[in-house]
Structure 1
């Protein structure tokens, strides 16, 4: 399922007793009760109106006549020991997004619009200070019991008390839930000028109270969960594989938001130790589809007969989604990275041009924004409304925000960036670091300590990217070690901010909002498990995040996002790396997908199993085996 910015779930503050809506019988009401003043709507857009009208039958990027059936085998890397994706403990299995559902669901061809799923309709006032959800009376759990208001209230309470800490933080502005009647509830919001809150409320994963109340939610468990979604767990072996089966009597199969999706009878995830083994499994026919994220592999690893003969298809699907930021992340909680001049200096040691030419076959573009590949990205010098916003903070942000165009350091691609290293030395000297003539190590002039740090990795594929960077850092006299750990250790260290430098990707949506608090706010910097990996603590950034969240229009959202982007860039919290504007796919010729590709790009849930193609492929495989 398509996930906006890795939104994990919703949280709501403690449920309260609703205030009485009754009026004195002899006193005519001055205005109707708030929930009666708003008409139920099938969808809600962040700004403007939904693209799809109430009468829509399916999304444009789906095939409503797609056949159901067949299976698809996918690969996952690492391991799993839990079916609960909402807690800190354990490593959750892939595919759990197919088990549970949310109140509303977003489309993949709009910046941010939600349509009814478990909630048939919603009611939202103009100021969006509350939202009423009317549950679909047909919504059922897999055991046949109906989805109820009590399930929604329970989900809020359990996620915000025993779930991952991020839920308490991310949804702290949702103040209370009131039950208004059978299948009808209202969520109250504590924060004004936050147009996103009703949409966030719609993203709450709803859990079955009657199933969970007899279990320990906070404990990692491999009990196949009860859900309401299109799939359920059919078979698994811990750490090795899990198979999901399509629910034949799935209650929501004919909803407009689902029609043409969830077409495979079975989805199986096989777990492998690393990407190299996954690629070999794909070529051997043990994996059906892979989204290739390594340029070298795309260019070199698939020169095999199955690809040349058209049985294993290589397809690059263009997309228009923001590619976000991938980069080397400085943990500014570490003293050596507390000075932005040091962080800026070390960026000169990353030779993108050499890496792109020699490692990536020139398939990537350099990232120069936290919102790259979108209209949200800052560029040039600030002007117009963006400049007006930034002027409020002149003197509190680097002067370069106003006077210089942000551009990551570039080189001639020769592999010996002399001028860049000279620039790095100048910045390091300003920050109090000089090369000791005896040891030839970069040394702090106050403490006498040499600069040493570790780059933490979980993927072996990233080593070849780090090693040239490490070589240039050593030319500066910096001792850098590269540590490759298993996925479990990596997750634990990631959550505890136990690293010096890490490589991370912050995905972005076309309509950024409350998730920016988790990425960059001062509060999130102190919250283990948050995605403020850099430890950003800047009151200006905190204010810009709140301005972004309160944006009253699309135009204002763009201006405020660009202002935030520019201040983040000049904070030098990461060394920007690169991005691709296509989704690179490899799949065996037994599947089909719609001709229309949404702005978000590849959508597996819209694909289907093509029986005729599958028969041809099977005949070809039998012929190859016979010749062998």
Structure 2
């Protein structure tokens, strides 16, 4: 199910590519500085020097045709092309215009291969990384990509003109130095095995983007519909009213013959049509207005993604296995609100959530309950803490709840008869211990204030989310708690998210193969007060900060796993989120004229996979 996924305009296109690249962190560095075509997390990259293409693409995929898609997320309109600034909504698909120095492989964990760069050199002391830029690399205006452009991109993204997530993401990179026109060096504040990959994941754009004919420049944070000057395989062809945009494949794209690009970018044009809500979006698909639908609502997949065109074989439904890791999705409680600051209250709210009823009645048994912030991966903590975890947790014992040192908490079960009633009785006892008692028709604190809060959701997801919130609210009402469903359009919700103006809302932290600095942005104390940050919970915990420091600085895979398990234990025992559910497949409905490679990637987004690696059967073209 797709929920209120947290996305700023600045990170919408980066969320997958940057997280995938930022996951890389542990690679052997010989004593001298060295040059490579790729960096692997462990040992050597899967693909050798001189490899022809990735295994999960069709190198002979025919080029041509138009792919029409709908909203890839909750965005229902756009008001800019610039995806790197905080305000506004960037056009869907805009990431196709930009490239990074390196790119990841989708069938191995945390490996980065040269893209704009053709050589990587990590200093022996690990205090810098140097990239040589491919002399063939060109921007869409024909200019060569230079070190000055890379430096300009870094300086701009880490300035106040860009969304604050970028400064946080690149915080451990002290500066970018243009060594010569084709060589860029990134200096680090301290040795960190993840930083060369973080530097390689930085998007690059031309210094001329926003330059006026008279030589003056439009401030970066004011760039709206000035067409970006990037180096990617597509260009903006046309757009209409913030609801439709068409990209055209650049026939002179400089990187078309690179091994990392063979078999990709097969459509001559890619069009996005944005619909006002999920109902309109689904009906438009069944009417033939666009070509492929990624279905996030289990009820729709079972009951609504049906009809004559499906029966006749014009539309095909299939589930595709993925190994992304589930991450965490759920109703988060905003700790900036006094209502949620008591651990006993948060536990009580968790006990009132009846996942089994929802899965049976609304989800058709399609989901599994989340039990971790790193679910469906070996990063999920289980059982009792290991010695490696205790090495990190014991020095923090005075700051942590004793439960952290016991078995991992298990989410409440309501399968046995009367188990929901038992859960609610436990919740009532916890609330009473926290000073909340039922009187005068409501649960009230010592000052007589009722226990009431809003659950903020996106208007376009009302049809999917309102029944879920209603079921949760019915259970809460039995405790005397009033939970109100509040829906707003995406633009308003984004503004409220940027200022943390909500009580409870749906959130998803995507899974990562190897956690890194993105965890600091999500859970670090400093980010809690930064407008627009990913610390939506508002968590400020010196103990969590200490664990994050160990996680980011981990020197081995074992150290990383121990730190991630320790973080998972502390977060789960904090009950900051009422966990939702996950699936191990992508549900995709598509027109029969579309084709995809025989070999699936392991780690991939369904939308990106369709745009990047599918193609149109030549026999179907008119």
TM-score above 0.5: yes
8 Å Cα contact 1:10/1:170 also seen in 2: no
Identify the residue that residue 62 of structure 2 maps to in structure 1.
67
Identify the residue that residue 606 of structure 1 maps to in structure 2.
613
Change in CA separation of 1:191 and 1:403 when aligned onto 2, cut-off 3 Å: same
Identify the residue that residue 38 of structure 1 maps to in structure 2.
33
Task: Render the CA deviation track for 1:560-599: whole Å, top value 9, x for unaligned.
Answer: 2111111110011100010111000000011111111111
Change in CA separation of 1:83 and 1:412 when aligned onto 2, cut-off 3 Å: same
8 Å Cα contact 2:524/2:535 also seen in 1: yes
Identify the residue that residue 221 of structure 1 maps to in structure 2.
224
Identify the residue that residue 175 of structure 1 maps to in structure 2.
174
Change in CA separation of 1:323 and 1:36 when aligned onto 2, cut-off 3 Å: closer
Change in CA separation of 1:527 and 1:413 when aligned onto 2, cut-off 3 Å: farther
Task: Render the CA deviation track for 1:492-543: whole Å, top value 9, x for unaligned.
Answer: 0011100000100000210110000110000010111111111011111111
SS of structure 1 residue aligned to 2:208: helix
Task: Render the CA deviation track for 1:452-480: whole Å, top value 9, x for unaligned.
Answer: 11111102121111110011111111122
Displacement after TM superposition at 1:2 (Å): 8.7
8 Å Cα contact 1:455/1:482 also seen in 2: yes
Within 2, Cα distance between the matches of 1:312 and 1:337?
A: 46
Displacement after TM superposition at 1:7 (Å): 3.5
SS of structure 1 residue aligned to 2:486: strand
- State the TM-score, normalizing by the size of structure 1: 0.91
Identify the residue that residue 478 of structure 1 maps to in structure 2.
481
Identify the residue that residue 350 of structure 2 maps to in structure 1.
347
8 Å Cα contact 1:46/1:195 also seen in 2: no
| CA root-mean-square deviation | 2.1
Within 2, Cα distance between the matches of 1:400 and 1:222?
A: 52
Identify the residue that residue 449 of structure 2 maps to in structure 1.
449
SS of structure 1 residue aligned to 2:142: coil
Within 1, Cα distance between the matches of 2:384 and 2:87?
A: 45
Task: Render the CA deviation track for 1:8-39: whole Å, top value 9, x for unaligned.
Answer: 8999xxxxxxxxxxxxxxxxxxxxxx999422
Identify the residue that residue 501 of structure 1 maps to in structure 2.
504
Task: Render the CA deviation track for 1:264-307: whole Å, top value 9, x for unaligned.
Answer: 11000001001111111111111100110000000000221221
8 Å Cα contact 1:179/1:186 also seen in 2: yes
Displacement after TM superposition at 1:179 (Å): 1.9
Identify the residue that residue 440 of structure 1 maps to in structure 2.
441
Task: Render the CA deviation track for 1:294-342: whole Å, top value 9, x for unaligned.
Answer: 0000000022122122221101001111111110000001001011110
Identify the residue that residue 57 of structure 1 maps to in structure 2.
52
SS of structure 2 residue aligned to 1:530: coil
Within 1, Cα distance between the matches of 2:201 and 2:251?
A: 25
Give the alignment of 1:65-214 within 5 angstroms. Answer: 65-76=60-71, 77-161=75-159, 162-192=161-191, 194-213=192-211, 214=217
Task: Render the CA deviation track for 1:169-223: whole Å, top value 9, x for unaligned.
Answer: 221110012222220121100023x211110100111110023342221115122
Change in CA separation of 1:204 and 1:263 when aligned onto 2, cut-off 3 Å: same
8 Å Cα contact 1:377/1:565 also seen in 2: yes
SS of structure 2 residue aligned to 1:332: coil
Q: Paired residue for 2:312, among 306, 309, 313?
A: 309
Q: Paired residue for 2:466, among 447, 463, 481?
A: 463
Task: Render the CA deviation track for 1:368-390: whole Å, top value 9, x for unaligned.
Answer: 01111111111122224223332
Within 2, Cα distance between the matches of 1:505 and 1:528?
A: 18
SS of structure 1 residue aligned to 2:196: helix
Within 2, Cα distance between the matches of 1:608 and 1:488?
A: 33
8 Å Cα contact 2:208/2:229 also seen in 1: no
Displacement after TM superposition at 1:415 (Å): 9.4
Within 1, Cα distance between the matches of 2:30 and 2:402?
A: 49
8 Å Cα contact 1:9/1:167 also seen in 2: no
SS of structure 2 residue aligned to 1:210: coil
- State the TM-score, normalizing by the size of structure 2: 0.91
SS of structure 1 residue aligned to 2:165: helix
8 Å Cα contact 1:90/1:220 also seen in 2: no
8 Å Cα contact 1:148/1:183 also seen in 2: yes
8 Å Cα contact 1:455/1:481 also seen in 2: yes
Mean Cα deviation higher: 206-215 or 498-507: 206-215
Mark the structure with the bigger radius of gyration: 1
8 Å Cα contact 2:452/2:481 also seen in 1: yes
Displacement after TM superposition at 1:238 (Å): 2.5
Mean Cα deviation higher: 37-46 or 520-529: 37-46
Mean Cα deviation higher: 215-224 or 272-281: 215-224
Mean Cα deviation higher: 603-612 or 563-572: 603-612
8 Å Cα contact 2:80/2:90 also seen in 1: yes
Within 2, Cα distance between the matches of 1:590 and 1:130?
A: 48
Identify the residue that residue 552 of structure 2 maps to in structure 1.
549
SS of structure 2 residue aligned to 1:393: helix
Displacement after TM superposition at 1:5 (Å): 5.0
8 Å Cα contact 1:10/1:156 also seen in 2: no
Task: Render the CA deviation track for 1:385-418: whole Å, top value 9, x for unaligned.
Answer: 2233323322321211222331111112779821
8 Å Cα contact 2:413/2:419 also seen in 1: no
SS of structure 2 residue aligned to 1:211: coil
Change in CA separation of 1:534 and 1:185 when aligned onto 2, cut-off 3 Å: same
Give the alignment of 1:528-567 within 5 angstroms. Answer: 528-567=531-570
Q: Say how many residue pairs are matched.
A: 589
Change in CA separation of 1:503 and 1:598 when aligned onto 2, cut-off 3 Å: same
8 Å Cα contact 2:140/2:230 also seen in 1: yes
Identify the residue that residue 526 of structure 1 maps to in structure 2.
529
Displacement after TM superposition at 1:6 (Å): 6.8
